[in-house]
Structure 1
């Protein structure tokens, strides 16, 4: 049997994945949708992620909102995390902002990212 982490964060792109991976301290699976996701792939994900804590962290733009709507419909139990609209993209959000969003969702982060750098 494969060992899975309990928590899964779904992001749009590989740059988002890298950024989140850098900030998160606990072991989590980070899944990229690469901006879009087919219904087939989504169905596979729903099956695969059954009984796990799923977090949706997508960009604060039109494609991110489309993706979020899709996940809300197909994955009603997932928790949605939001970055501030002024950053637009997860990858563009400063680490401290990302860390505060993640810690608010009970995801352990490296504490150095919680300090706002000037």
Structure 2
């Protein structure tokens, strides 16, 4: 297991969905929407994001695009995990679909979701 990977999602339902599919311990933090400059700096400092492998997984909607853009500016080294636009929200993405997206970034997922 790679040490120090962290996934940034928008909300608690996204986090729960990820935890359901993942078969490894990964730190997941919620932004609860777009972040102010101060909150963003706090998050980068508190989670030591400049020195970790960061993955951004947000909804495929306007607020998700805005947050992804903001996170990309602050964390240019971050990798992006995308869900199919048809599902719009991470929480609404079927588990096998989410598992495939995570596998593409070398996360370990529960075999039950690999259909």
TM-score, normalization by structure 1 = 0.90
| Aligned counterpart for 1:8 among listed residues 3, 6, 9 | 6
Match of 1:20 in 2: 18
Deviation per CA, 1:34-87, whole angstroms, max 9, x where unpaired?
A: 122121121122232232111000000000000000011100000011000000
* Separation in structure 2 between the aligned mates of residue 68 and residue 13 of structure 1, nearest angstrom: 14
Query: Match of 2:80, SS?
Result: strand
Determine whether 1:45 maps to 2:15: no
Unmatched 5+ stretches in structure 2: none
Over aligned residue pairs, what C-alpha RMSD do you find? 1.0
| Aligned counterpart for 1:35 among listed residues 33, 36, 60 | 33
Q: Which runs of 4+ in 1 moved over 4 A?
A: none
Match of 2:84 in 1: 84
Mean CA deviation greater in 80-89 or 48-57: 48-57
TM-score, normalization by structure 2 = 0.92
Query: Match of 1:91, SS?
Result: coil
Query: Match of 1:64, SS?
Result: helix
Q: How many correspondences in the alignment?
A: 111
Match of 1:98 in 2: 98
* Separation in structure 1 between the aligned mates of residue 103 and residue 39 of structure 2, nearest angstrom: 29
Unmatched 5+ stretches in structure 1: none
* Separation in structure 1 between the aligned mates of residue 70 and residue 83 of structure 2, nearest angstrom: 18
